[in-house]
Amino acid sequence: MEIYWETRIIRGFSDLEYRGNFRTMKIKSVRGTHDLLPEATQLWQEIEAAARHNFGLYGYAELRTPIFEETELFARSIGAATDIVQKEMYTFADSKGKTFSLRPEGTASVVRAFIEHGLHHDGGIHRLYYIGPMFRHERPQKGRYRQFHQIGVEVLGSDHPALEAEVIEMLHRFFEHLEVEGLELLVNSVGCTNCRPAYIQLLREQLNTQASDWCSQCRQRAETNPLRVLDCKTPDCQPLIEKLPTIEEHLCEECRRHFSRFRNYLDLQQVPYRVDPRLVRGLDYYVRTTFEMVSDRLGPTQNAVVGGGRYDGLVEILGGPATRGFGFALGIERLVTVMGERPNKSQSVAPDLFLGFLDDASFEECIQLASHLRGEGIHAYLDFQGRSLKAQMRLANRLGSRFTCVVGEEEMTSGRFPLKRMEDGHLVTVTREEISVQVKS
């Protein structure tokens, strides 16, 4: 596989390009993708740790799946008529002509793995989460990228509305942990295979009577996926959407009851929400409960930080036994935007101890000492750029090291080391073994 790609990439350049531009050309990151530099990864790690911690409290375990799958998996689960499958997937063929796609979302892969590994055999409830990159060929703009990252949760094996409310309460706790404010929870029911078809037919009829008023995409959606019209972002369509019938009045008795129980459980958990009868999800597999969490700190057309809902038919669509499912996906980039600038909580880059040396022999001693101290859990630092001792001490100051220790011939023979606390200049002389005790105290 590796060799195959290498040759393909090189063959893509003409001989001239290869000899000329290729070597000097500056290569930049691909449009719609981003590097996360160390000052940003700290917050990302905090977010991921908060997810792992809080989801763990509810019994969720992590699942990691490959970032590419057979295209068929996404076409079948997300739906052939959706924007994602029609225009947003990164699809490629391998040397045997098999077609693969970079995953545009996580649920399809989770369900594939759930079936493939027979997780359903124990008949219990499976609580899973994932964290990782997703890929969609969208027009890059603020909050919309081609590689972005999601934290997702799936719970398989139950259709209890209290479980839905619990998942949302868990999200609530996660946001509280991260001190995220200003998110609004929107909920709706999109009905089920019993009641939705009649509503969709009604929508289609209405859309067709005034077809010329709608944007071209909506005219197309009227045929392929009328529900998605409710999700149209074109300004001209908004007043028209307002006039469309809502699904609320068309829910069957069971869906109505499910939705009302779900809201009762939210109340019980004291989770505030607003019913948005026009909230639909872009993916075909959703039934009944759907929800989004939105923020006005994001752009008007990409204000959702979290989207989720129930997908009871999906496991069957992918060849597994009838299994209920509920879940959500959260966009990490959008969450980071909502969180805004945060003061750095931990100074993880500042060393605990800066080891200064005078010559080659004491440099070697410092290398060994640093290794020993790291084994004790201490962040030890030494210079590798041939600085004079004076310059080493300036560096120690600049890095904000808590302690310094200068090692010379005398220290090496006596086995006693001068440890200076930088904050107040306090100096103690300790043995090699006592260094870590002092630094930790």
The residues of the shown chain that bind ligand ATP, judged by CB under 6 A, are: 105, 136, 138, 143-145, 148, 150, 282, 302, 304-307, 329, 331, 333-334
Structure tokens at 67: 């970032």
| Shorter beta-carbon distance to ligand ATP: residue 337 or 438 | 337
Minimum CB–partner distance for residue 66 and ligand ATP (Å): 19
Minimum CB–partner distance for residue 88 and ligand ATP (Å): 8
| Shorter beta-carbon distance to ligand ATP: residue 174 or 417 | 174
Instruction: Check if the beta carbon of residue 157 is closer than 8 Å to that of residue 255.
Output: no
Q: Which residues contact 405 (CB under 8 A, 6 or more apart)?
A: 353, 354, 355, 356, 417, 418, 419, 420, 435
Helix axes 161-177, 38-56, angle to 10 degrees: 140
Minimum CB–partner distance for residue 131 and ligand ATP (Å): 12
| Shorter beta-carbon distance to ligand ATP: residue 183 or 369 | 183
Report the alpha-carbon distance of residue 303 to residue 292 in Å, rounded: 10
| Shorter beta-carbon distance to ligand ATP: residue 63 or 393 | 63
Minimum CB–partner distance for residue 32 and ligand ATP (Å): 8
Minimum CB–partner distance for residue 272 and ligand ATP (Å): 19
How far apart, in Å, are the Cα atoms of 270 and each of 172, 182, 309, 313? 10, 16, 19, 30
Helix axes 253-268, 161-177, angle to 10 degrees: 40
| Shorter beta-carbon distance to ligand ATP: residue 85 or 435 | 85
End-to-end CA distance of the chain: 53
Minimum CB–partner distance for residue 63 and ligand ATP (Å): 17
| Shorter beta-carbon distance to ligand ATP: residue 280 or 393 | 280
Minimum CB–partner distance for residue 150 and ligand ATP (Å): 5
Q: Tell the burial category of 358 from Cβ atoms under 10 Å away from its Cβ (0-12, 13-18, 19+).
A: middle
Q: Using alpha carbons, select from 324, 331, 377 the residue that is nearest to residue 353.
A: 377
Helix axes 332-339, 38-56, angle to 10 degrees: 110
How far apart, in Å, are the Cα atoms of 156 and each of 107, 116, 163, 180, 266? 11, 14, 10, 28, 20
Structure tokens at 229: 């019209």
Report CA dihedral (327, 333, 334, 340) to the nearest 10 degrees: 130
Minimum CB–partner distance for residue 314 and ligand ATP (Å): 14
| Shorter beta-carbon distance to ligand ATP: residue 153 or 369 | 153
Report the alpha-carbon distance of residue 219 to residue 216 in Å, rounded: 5
Minimum CB–partner distance for residue 105 and ligand ATP (Å): 5
Q: Tell the burial category of 96 from Cβ atoms under 10 Å away from its Cβ (0-12, 13-18, 19+).
A: exposed
Report the alpha-carbon distance of residue 136 to residue 139 in Å, rounded: 9
| Shorter beta-carbon distance to ligand ATP: residue 65 or 438 | 65
| Shorter beta-carbon distance to ligand ATP: residue 273 or 363 | 273
Q: What is the DSSP letter of 25?
A: P
Minimum CB–partner distance for residue 143 and ligand ATP (Å): 6
Give me the residue whose beta carbon is nearest to ligand ATP: 331
Across 395-420, b (16+ Cβ under 10 Å) vs e yields bbeeeebbbbbbbbeebeeeeebebb
Minimum CB–partner distance for residue 27 and ligand ATP (Å): 23
